[in-house]
Chain A
Amino acid sequence: MKSKDRMKIVFSEMPTQPPQVRAKNFREVPYGYSEEMALQEANRCLNCKKPKCVEGCPVRVPIPEFISLIQEGKFLEAAWKIKERNVLPAVCGRVCPQESQCEEKCVRGKKGKPVGIGNLERFVADYERFSGHIPEPMRVKKNRKKVAIIGSGPSGLTTAGDLIQQGYEVTVYEAFHLGGGVLVYGIPEFRLPKSVVQYEIQNLENSGVKFVYDSVIGRVRSIDELFSEDGYDAVYIGVGAGLPVFMNIPGENLQGVYSANEYLTRSNLMKAYLYPDYDTPLLTGKNVVVVGGGNVAMDSARTALRLDAKNVYIVYRRSREQMPARLEEVHHAEEEGIQFKLLSSPVEIMGDEKGRIESIRCQRYELGEPDKSGRARPVPIEGDYFELTTDLIIIAIGNKANPLITMTTPDLEVNKWGNIVTDELGRTSKPFVYAGGDIVTGAATVISAMGAGRRSAMAIHEDLFPTTEEITESFMIPKEILELKHVAIYPKSVYLRVNLVNVSEKELDQVKIRISHVHDFFETTMFEKTVPQWSPGEEHEIDCPRIDKSEKEYLITINDLHGKIMSKIIVAEDVKK
């Protein structure tokens, strides 16, 4: 098909349950693409030489490649292609903020709609799940090292998946009785069916990951005990950001005021939305006020609506454009009839003599000067207040780092917000302890938590099988394989003069060198090559024109002959010397 023809194909709208119907049930809102729709949408992809979308994806899913496979009707292969970089495509296709990642960058978005990358990702992942093609667990040789993972959210699951494939014995400790983290206790069924999460956990179990539920690390076991008593060689902390922020306004402890965490945990994890079939109760309201403008606020509001609320208001301090929620969620919420009270913020909650809430008083705001982040700062308008009658208030203004682990592990360095401090690969101040996801970055996204998990898996492997030795002060490249003689950085390229050592000629095609940028925990590969034409003992210059000189850090990764990966970050300053 010619590009011109591709340009003519119209966007396949995702079919959804009609708003009036879905506002009364907890079934998933979008139905998903049919095969025809998926083919049609895939054919809109121009298969760009320099795919912008890939730059937008934090884990660099090979987007044009997987979409090409869809064009050929190879749906399973397309799913596997994504899984090379992203182990939870069925989740990410549903919850990634595509509009500010891959789809924002898509060239077709310049005129009209970008390719529905998220929709396609979801389609192939679901296709694989329903195909019955249960992925064969890879047979890997055990390497006799044990790793404990704390928390079964997206970051913990990713680390577990990566490590089990490298032969580790992996155990995931989870505080709750079910795995998945926010994917099960936070995000509602109508947005992410729990069966999707369950399926992924089952796959991990099949491949040998052990899950130990009902275990609050810090209480039932300290991190030190995981090493000393249970004999773990490394520990990964992926405990998320579970500490609800309250507003500190009068009336916040009245009956009928929930943190979004409590409201959603009761509803999703404890299944209070099925009360009384399930025992956990949940207060319902006729006039519900949700404070906040993120995904958590949208999820709370839409849950309340499904539990028979007449009016659901979202009270948000800034403007609509500044809402951090996924575009699709705001759109769906609006269709379902959620009412937005923008540029306003609560100042007081009023109750009756029984301690039940009656109303909430809010102050109006206007947009002022931009703040440091460049967003217009909301400023309160003096004397401009309004009141909403309400019988249920849900506070969804954010989460901070839960201190349980750090409190019980005094030698773990945290910053002033209580987030664990780590290096680029998730190494904490404590040897062989790694951390990633929301506990490091603060509340962020599923995909960024997954990226962090993957990077820590790399670091764990590197630290537990240290095949590297320092050859110059600034770089540690495995001496047995490669010597770094000289590094020079030019405006559009980097030269590395390297010398392969101790490699026989017939092994040369197995050595792969990769140079990448490291950005927000993710890697962009700028150079990747096997070097069969080289001879041991020769020095070679690697010209790497895609290198962006403004970047400060470069990650050099070398696969050794046994498929092991070693990597090291080098910083521009070091390199100049």
Chain B
Amino acid sequence: MSKFEILKKEEFVPNFYKLDISVPTIARKAKAGQFILVMVDERSEKIPLTLIDWDKEKGTISFIVQELGLSTSKMAFMEEGDSFYSIVGPLGEPAYLENFGTVVVSGGCYGIGATYPIAKRLKELGNHVITIIEAKNENLLYYEEEFKTVSDEVILVTTDGSKGERGHIYDVLEHMIESQQRQIDHIKVIGCNVMMSKVSKLTKEKGAIPTYATVITIMVDGTGMCGSCRLSYDGKTKFACVDGPEFNAHKIDWEEIIHVRNTSYISEETLGLQNFSPECRSLAKYQEKSKEEETS
């Protein structure tokens, strides 16, 4: 078996793939909240993906990819038996986990998958776990069954109301907080930065409930060497790859992350994706093409 081989790949909802890869060294050390940096092939960018499951005995790790731009599209074209060029991890500090009491674990987009190991661990630690998962519509919701096994309550939310509540995570949270049915001791949120920033704003205003978010920043090396992933946190500069990626959401300068740091490469990314033409329907073809280019 070659290094970083895909053992299993599954598109469980449109544009979301779960991949199982054999990397025993990472499986042995992974902790909830940590991530890996992945390169599809020699020419790829290094992109961060959260570890959502791992099996120490079998030496496998799993992650979920949401097809967005160039690198994630390349992954979508990979097949079982293909291998990644490089996988580094586990990176980042593990999530802050203890017995808090009642915890709300919330996730949207790729964050649904990424919150899974966190909910699981929180449950093991004896918390009352309430999971809220959000998607645009019913077709994009996933892991409902998995979450049921590790949570005391699972709340589904869709933007269009096609399943569960209509709206967003923060609408559900706001309702929960205001109805005062249950005291919430701790909140975890993973998803896109905009959603997390809104949750953060809400919980800060509504009694400053401890809220921890997993920031999404652009990364290169994942070891604190480049500073690409820097953010302003409590007036100081922090590196998401070594100090995070989970931070106290109330101390994060969300404005800066969302509107300044993460929009740096918008035009480059579109160009990258255009170059990755649709006729290359599989990675093998793509690689062949690159070889031809090299030799010609």
Spell out A's residues near B (CB within 8 Å).
Answer: 175-177, 213-216, 219-221, 242-244, 246, 248, 252-256, 258-259, 261-262, 265-266, 270-271, 275-283, 351, 354-355, 402-404
Contact = CB atoms under 8 A, between A and B. Distances in A.
A279 B70 contact: yes
B35 to A, nearest CB: 11
Contacts of A253: 230-232, 237, 256, 260-261
23 contacts: A175-B88, A214-B88, A215-B25, A216-B223, A220-B25, A221-B29, A242-B225, A244-B225, A253-B230, A254-B260, A255-B260, A259-B227, A259-B228, A266-B220, A276-B271, A279-B45, A280-B44, A280-B45, A281-B268, A281-B272, A354-B263, A403-B224, A404-B242
Given A177-B39, A219-B89, A265 B260 contact: no
The main secondary structure of chain A at its interface with chain B is loop
A219 B221 contact: no
Contacts of B45: 270, 279-281
Interface of B: 25-26, 29, 39, 43-46, 70-71, 85-91, 220-228, 230-232, 237, 242, 256, 259-261, 263-265, 268-269, 271-272, 275, 293
Nearest to A284: B268
A280 to B, nearest CB: 5
Given A177-B86, A253-B237, 8 more contacts: A219-B29, A220-B89, A221-B29, A277-B43, A280-B44, A281-B272, A403-B224, A404-B242
A407 B71 CA distance: 32
Contact of A404 (B88, B224, B268, B293): B224
A496 to B, nearest CB: 47
Contacts of B293: 277
Contact of B223 (A271, A275, A402): A402
The main secondary structure of chain B at its interface with chain A is mixed
A225 B7 CA distance: 28
User: Which residue, B26, B29, B224, B227, has most C-beta atoms of chain A within 10 A?
Assistant: B227
Contacts of B263: 255, 354-355
Contact of A276 (B39, B227, B264, B272): B272
Contacts of A276: 271-272, 275
Nearest to A407: B242
A214 B227 contact: no
Contacts of A278: 43
Given A253-B232, A276-B272, A270 B46 contact: yes
B227 A244 contact: yes
Nearest to A244: B227
B95 to A, nearest CB: 15
Given A216-B91, A219-B89, A355-B260, A261 B225 contact: yes
Q: Nearest 10 A-B pairs (CB), nearest first?
A: A281-B268, A355-B260, A242-B225, A262-B226, A259-B227, A177-B86, A279-B45, A244-B227, A278-B43, A280-B45
Contacts of B223: 175, 216, 242, 402, 404
Nearest to B260: A355
Contacts of A221: 25, 29
Nearest to A175: B223
A238 to B, nearest CB: 14
A387 to B, nearest CB: 21
Given A265-B220, A270-B45, A404-B242, A220 B26 contact: yes
Contact of B259 (A248, A256, A281, A355): A355
B29 A220 contact: yes
Contact of A270 (B25, B220, B256, B265): B220
B39 A271 contact: no
B225 to A, nearest CB: 4
Contacts of A256: 264
A175 B265 contact: no
Nearest to A246: B237
Contact of A265 (B85, B226, B237): B226
Contact of B225 (A265, A277, A281, A355): A265
B43 A279 contact: yes
A216 B88 contact: yes
Contacts of B220: 262, 265-266, 270, 280
Nearest to B232: A253
Nearest to A218: B223
Contacts of B85: 177
A404 B90 CA distance: 13
Contacts of B91: 216, 219
Contacts of B269: 281
A283 to B, nearest CB: 6
Nearest to A275: B268
User: Which residue, A221, A254, A270, has most C-beta atoms of chain B within 10 A?
Assistant: A270
A355 B222 CA distance: 24
Contacts of B271: 276
A214 B260 contact: no
Given A253-B232, A261-B226, A279-B44, A214 B86 contact: yes
A177 B25 CA distance: 16
B224 A255 contact: no
A246 to B, nearest CB: 6
Nearest to A264: B226
User: Which residue, A215, A258, A279, has most C-beta atoms of chain B within 10 A?
Assistant: A279
Contacts of A214: 86-88
Contacts of B265: 281, 283
Nearest to B274: A276
Contacts of A220: 25-26, 29, 89-90
A176 B86 CA distance: 9
Contacts of A175: 88, 221, 223
Nearest to B267: A281
B225 A255 contact: no
Contacts of B39: 177
A213 B237 CA distance: 29
A185 to B, nearest CB: 8
Contacts of B46: 270, 280
User: Which residue, B228, B232, B259, has most C-beta atoms of chain A within 10 A?
Assistant: B228
Contacts of B264: 255-256, 283
A262 B86 contact: no
User: Which residue, A219, A220, A259, has most C-beta atoms of chain B within 10 A?
Assistant: A219
Contacts of B224: 242-243, 402-404
Nearest to A243: B224
Given A253-B232, A253-B261, A262 B222 contact: no
A265 B227 CA distance: 11
A176 B222 CA distance: 10
A266 B232 CA distance: 22
A316 B226 CA distance: 21
Nearest to B40: A279
Nearest to A282: B268
Nearest to B47: A279
A283 B228 CA distance: 12
